[in-house]
Amino acid sequence: MPEPVSIVSLIAALLLAASAGLNPYLPLMIVAVMAYSGNLTLPPPFGFVGRIWFVILAALLFLVNVFLDKAFLPGDSLATPVAQRSRRAWAGVAHDLGQMLLGPLAGAVLMWAISGFLPQTWPLVAPMLGILLAALVYTGKRALRRRLAGRLGPFTNLLMSAIEDVAVVMLCVAGLLLLRSQGV
């Protein structure tokens, strides 16, 4: 039977991995800032997350994402045939690929770094769970945004992206508060 601390770390890791499906850069930046400031201790293989270069990289990627996520509907640029893509469409392709690939990767890193709930003999279960959860959340986000596209006026994508960013912050804060309550 797992200890209560392990269940709390599992829930915290799940919250952080799920938030990576909505925005892969913001949860990484929040965890990196917390680790850099000494408020969060990550296990040895993940010490790089608390380094200043990682904090700066996550912050830069988040700032780029702030503008691109509000400008492009997820998946729209990838659906455009290659011959018909403009420079703007290629920027959207880069953003879509970043979201699709880095979201699950961020979910894996966060899940693996935060969770201490699995036995040492199952080293890849946590990252696989993080990948799966972040990918499912990303797929749901993409489907919902495409379904609502234009229904709430011309600013639907902007509004949905802002709501997602607020949800990410709330999920991250909830996960980190759970960790703090256990003294992690």
What does pTM read for this prediction?
0.87
Q: What is the pLDDT of residues 128-164, one digit of tens each?
A: 999 999 999 999 998 888 888 778 777 888 888 899 9
**pLDDT confidence of residue 134:** 96
**pLDDT confidence of residue 145:** 84
Q: Which amino acid is at 57?
A: L
**pLDDT confidence of residue 90:** 83
**pLDDT confidence of residue 5:** 52
What does the buried/exposed string (b/e) look like for 50-69 if buried means 16 or more CB atoms within 10 Å of the residue's CB?
A: beeebbeebbebbeebbebb
**pLDDT confidence of residue 62:** 92
Residues with Cβ within 8 Å of residue 166, at least 6 apart in sequence: none
Higher local confidence (pLDDT), 43 or 76: 43
Per-residue pLDDT at 76 exceeds 80? no
Q: What is the CA radius of gyration of the chain?
A: 17
Q: What is the pLDDT of residues 6-29, one digit of tens each?
A: 788 889 999 999 999 999 999 999
